[in-house]
C-alpha cells in the first residue's frame, strides 16, 4: 500500500469516528456567521434607513442603507487573502476560530452603536467600519468550514459532506429572521426602531461562544496534516494560487456569483419590494414585514432540503451536471418570476404568488449552492485549497452580491420588476459558461 493510500485510509477512518464533530464544526460556525450577516441584511432593508440616515427622501435613505450592506462583501476578498494564507500555512482549525471571533466582535458592536440622531455622521462611519470587520471575518469562514467537511469525507461522499457548511446558510437565515419575527410579534414599530433592532446583534455573542467551544475541540483535518508531513505546505499560498490556478479562481467566482445574486434577490431585495410602498423603493405588494419574514422562513426550509438533494445527486451524477441543470432552470425562472411580483398582474397581498416565487427560487438556490461546498475545493491542490477556494468564493461576493439589493432596487424603481429578472438571468448565463469550462471533479485525488 502506498503512502497516499495509507493516508487516505486514515482520513476515512477518522471521518467514521468523528462525523458528529465534523458536522458540528463545519455547520455550527457557518450558521453563526450567516446569522450575523443576515441580521444585518434585514436591518439594512427595514430599520437602518430610519436609524442611521437622513429621512428627507425615503428611497435615498433605503439605497444608502443597502450600500452599507455592500461594504462587507468588498471586505471579504481581503479576509480570504489573510485567512487563506494562515489556513494553508498553519491549518484549518486555528484559522476558523479566529475568523469566527472577528465576525462575532463586529456584529456585537453593531448592536451597541449610537444612532444618527445621537452622533450624526460619526455613527454612520462606525457602522461602515464594523460592517467591514464583519466582511473580513466571513472572508475566512466559508472556505475553512468547507475544507473541514470535505477533507474529512470519504471519497464518494465529498459533496454530501460539503453540504454541512452549506446548510449553515439556511439555518443562520432561519435563526436571524425568526428572531426578528418574534421581536416584531411582541413589539410595535416604535419599539423596534428604539431598541428592538439591536437584539439580534447582541444575541450573536451567545452563539459565537457556542461556535468557539465546538471549534476549539475539533481536530485538524487529516489531509492538511498529511501535507505538513510531506512538507508540501507553501510559504506564500496566495502567490502560488495566482501563479498556477488563476483560471480556477475565475471559474470559482462565476460558479458562485449567481447563487449570491439569487439569494439576496430573494432574501433582501424582495423583502423591501414586498413590504414597502412604491414611493419608498418598494413594489406596493402590501405585505407587512412580519408576514414577509414568515414566508421567508417557510421558503428557507425548501432551500435546506434542496441543498441535500443536490449534493446527493452531485455525488451520484457529478458536480457539473447538477449545476448545469440549475443554471438553465434559473434562466427560465428569471424570465417568469417578475410576473409573480407585479401587483398589476397578481394584485396586492397575493400570498400564493409570492410563496411560489420564494419556494421555487430557494429550490433553485439550493440546487446551485449545494455542490459548491465540494466543487470549489476540488478545483485546487491541497496546499493552496483554503486560499484558492476562499478567494474565488469571496470574489463572487463582490460580483454577485455586494450591490444586488441596491442595483435591484434601482432597476425596479426605474424600469420595473422585469429588469431584475434580466439582471438575474445574465448572472445565470455567466454561471453556465463557467461550469461548462470546468472539468468534472467528482473523482479527483483530493489528497494532492
In terms of pLDDT, which residue wins out, 293 or 328?
328
C-alpha cell at 204: 450573536
Spatial distance between the Cα atoms of 23 and 189, rounded to a whole number of angstroms: 38
Q: How many CB atoms lie within 10 A of CB 229?
A: 11
pLDDT score at 55: 67
pLDDT at residue number 335: 96
d(Cα 342, Cα 345) in Å, to the nearest integer? 5
Residue among 382, 342, 359 nearest 297 (CA): 359
- Neighbour tally for 28: CB within 10 Å: 23
Segment 207-243, tens digit of pLDDT? 888 888 888 888 777 788 787 787 777 788 889 998 9
- At 1 the pLDDT is 43
**What is the residue whose three cell numbers read 463572487?**
396
CA 321-393-197 angle, 5° bins: 115
pLDDT in tens, 270-327: 988 999 888 777 888 999 988 998 999 999 999 999 999 999 999 999 999 999 999 9
Query: pLDDT tens digits for 353-388?
Result: 999 999 999 999 999 999 999 999 999 988 899 899
Cα atoms found within 13 Å of the Cα of residue 190, Cβ hemisphere only: 0
Percent over 90 (pLDDT), the chain: 48
Q: Are 43 and 197 in contact (CB under 8 A)?
A: yes
For Cα atoms 148, 237, 436, give the angle at the middle one, nearest 5 degrees: 70
- Domain limits of the chain? 8-437
Supply the pLDDT for residue 56: 65
CA 205 to chain centre: 20
Burial 52-72 (b: 16+ CB within 10 A, else e): bbeeeebbebbbbbbbbbbbb
* Residue 315: Cβ within 10 Å count: 24
User: pTM for this one?
Assistant: 0.84
Instruction: Kindly write down the DSSP assignment for every residue of 59-86, as one continuous string.
Output: HHHHHHHHHHHHHHHHHHHHHHHHHHHH
**Structure-block grid coordinates of residue 231:** 512538507
pLDDT of residue 12: 46
Do 275 and 331 touch, CB atoms closer than 8 A? no
For residue 229, what pLDDT is reported? 80
Give the CATH class of 8-437.
Answer: mainly alpha
- Average pLDDT (421-430) is 96
Amino acid at each position: 500500500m502506498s503512502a497516499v493510500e495509507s493516508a487516505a485510509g486514515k482520513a476515512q477512518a477518522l471521518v467514521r469516528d468523528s462525523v458528529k464533530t465534523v458536522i458540528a464544526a463545519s455547520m455550527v460556525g457557518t450558521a453563526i456567521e450567516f446569522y450575523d450577516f443576515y441580521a444585518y441584511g434585514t436591518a439594512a432593508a427595514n430599520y437602518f434607513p430610519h436609524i442611521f440616515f437622513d429621512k428627507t427622501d425615503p428611497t435615498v435613505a433605503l439605497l444608502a442603507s443597502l450600500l452599507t450592506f455592500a461594504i462587507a462583501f468588498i471586505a471579504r476578498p481581503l479576509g480570504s487573502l489573510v485567512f487563506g494564507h494562515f489556513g494553508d500555512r498553519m491549518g484549518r482549525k486555528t484559522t476558523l476560530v479566529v475568523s469566527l471571533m472577528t465576525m462575532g466582535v463586529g456584529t456585537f458592536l453593531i448592536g451597541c452603536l449610537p444612532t444618527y440622531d445621537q452622533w450624526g455622521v460619526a455613527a454612520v462611519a462606525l457602522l461602515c467600519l464594523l460592517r467591514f470587520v464583519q466582511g473580513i471575518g466571513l472572508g475566512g469562514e466559508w472556505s475553512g468550514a468547507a475544507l473541514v467537511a470535505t477533507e474529512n469525507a470519504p471519497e464518494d461522499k465529498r459533496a454530501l459532506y460539503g453540504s454541512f457548511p452549506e446548510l449553515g446558510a439556511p439555518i443562520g437565515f432561519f435563526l436571524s429572521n425568526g428572531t426578528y419575527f418574534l421581536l416584531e410579534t411582541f413589539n410595535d414599530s416604535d419599539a423596534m426602531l428604539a431598541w428592538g433592532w439591536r437584539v439580534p446583534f447582541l444575541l450573536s455573542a451567545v452563539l459565537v461562544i457556542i461556535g468557539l467551544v465546538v471549534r476549539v475541540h475539533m481536530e485538524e483535518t487529516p489531509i492538511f496534516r498529511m501535507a505538513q508531513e510531506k512538507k508540501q505546505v507553501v510559504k506564500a499560498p496566495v502567490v502560488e494560487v495566482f501563479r498556477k490556478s488563476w483560471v480556477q479562481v475565475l471559474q470559482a467566482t462565476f460558479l458562485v456569483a449567481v447563487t449570491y445574486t439569487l439569494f439576496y434577490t430573494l432574501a433582501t431585495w424582495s423583502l423591501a419590494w414586498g413590504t414597502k410602498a412604491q414611493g419608498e423603493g418598494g413594489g406596493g405588494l402590501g405585505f407587512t414585514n412580519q408576514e414577509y419574514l414568515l414566508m421567508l422562513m417557510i421558503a428557507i426550509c425548501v432551500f435546506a432540503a434542496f441543498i441535500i438533494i443536490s449534493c446527493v445527486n452531485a455525488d451520484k451524477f457529478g458536480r457539473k451536471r447538477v449545476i448545469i441543470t440549475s443554471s438553465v432552470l434559473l434562466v427560465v425562472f428569471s424570465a417568469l418570476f417578475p410576473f409573480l411580483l407585479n401587483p398589476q398582474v397578481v394584485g396586492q397581498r397575493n400570498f400564493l404568488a409570492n410563496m411560489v416565487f420564494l419556494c421555487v427560487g430557494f429550490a433553485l438556490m439550493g440546487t446551485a449552492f449545494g455542490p459548491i461546498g465540494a466543487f470549489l475545493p476540488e478545483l485546487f491542490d491541497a496546499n493552496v485549497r483554503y486560499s484558492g477556494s476562499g478567494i474565488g468564493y469571496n470574489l463572487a461576493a463582490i460580483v454577485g452580491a455586494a450591490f444586488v439589493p441596491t442595483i435591484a432596487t434601482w432597476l425596479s424603481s426605474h424600469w420595473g420588476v422585469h429588469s431584475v429578472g434580466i439582471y438575474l438571468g445574465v448572472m445565470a448565463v455567466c454561471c453556465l459558461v463557467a461550469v461548462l469550462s470546468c472539468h468534472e471533479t467528482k473523482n479527483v485525488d483530493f489528497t494532492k
